[in-house]
Amino acid sequence: MMNADGSDDFLAGMAASSAERARRLRDSISEQELLRKIAATPAPPLIRFDPAGFDLIAEIKTVSPSSGILATGHTDLRTRAEAYVAAGACAVSVLTEPRRFGGCLEHLNQVANAILPHGIPAMAKDFLVDPCQIMAARAAGAGGVLLIVRMMDDERLADMLDCAGRLGMFTLIEAFDAQDLARAHSLLDRVGTTAGTAMVGVNCRDLRTLTIDAGRLETLVDLCPADRLAVAESGMLSAADAGRAARLGYRVGLVGTALMRTEEPGALVQAMLVAGRAQVRRRA
């Protein structure tokens, strides 16, 4: 589902590319074979949140459309993911979109295998439009997936949530505006427990310019479903940014570019968690 004002040209392109990838996936492997691969893959850990009230999903991505190359072929993604986990990340997000983000399922598999012994799940972050893509992510080791509200109608979104739930995966449902959040709220009310562990995220990136609209986090936080963890996405570059998100009421931050740019990602994860949890204590 794309907005009539043309603001979602970027998502439209991603949706078309993803649909073609899904078609090729369905042509190359049957659902039965995917299920056999899933059965042969270790069950991913469940996502767990700290009682301190603020958590971080730390991201692995090699390319950002807005920032360019973030990691070279020499970057050890496994080591970086392990640093995230050692610092306290509750999950590691892995970009698997190949055309604009340089991602692939192999990156996901590497990271999932690296953090599995630590009891932390990997999340496939992509522009998914077909349940077969969720199954492929689970076969590669993912414990969760990102789902973007405006890329699908309600029926397809419900199918995607159902697929993830049946596979024991958590979901991060991404919204960009009030209309997205209203749809997410209505859908989660309708599907109920079949949604499993579902979080709702607000992405503050402007899709027309790919710049950050930091005010979006404040504008939309009160529209997030009260019974779901609210996730602040994009634009968190510092501990102060994490503290601001927590002060607004977000209980999870999704951070990628800032972590990929630093030589000490673990230190930044820890600083963000400290700042966020301090704000939660002040709010209590």
Question: Cα-Cα-Cα-Cα dihedral of 49, 82, 142, 10, to 10°?
Answer: 90
**Encoding tokens for residue 141?**
């080791």
Per-residue pLDDT reduced to its tens digit, 47-81: 999 999 999 999 998 877 666 666 655 468 999 99
**Residue 177: Cβ-neighbour burial (10 angstroms; 0-12, 13-18, 19+):** middle
Which contacts (CB < 8 Å, 24+ apart) does range 104-110 have?
Answer: 105/136, 105/137, 105/140, 106/140, 107/60, 107/62, 107/77, 108/137, 108/140, 108/141, 108/142, 109/140, 109/141, 110/77, 110/78
pLDDT at 71: 63
Percent of the chain with pLDDT over 70: 92
Which one, of 23, 248, 250, 271, lies nearest residue 132 by Cα? Answer: 23
Q: Which domains does the chain have, with CATH numbers?
A: 9-40+51-283 (3.20.20.70)
pTM above 0.85, yes or no: yes
The sign of the CA dihedral 164, 166, 170, 175 is positive
pLDDT at 8: 64
**Contact assessment for residue 124 and residue 145, using Cβ atoms and an 8 Å cutoff:** yes
Residue whose tokens read 């492997």? 29
Question: Cα-Cα-Cα-Cα dihedral of 152, 209, 262, 52, to 10°?
Answer: -50
- pLDDT tier for residue 5 given thresholds of 50, 70 and 90: very low
Section 98-107 average pLDDT = 92
Per-residue pLDDT reduced to its tens digit, 24-38: 999 999 999 999 999
Distances, alpha carbon 162 to alpha carbons 1, 83, 174, in Å: 19, 32, 16
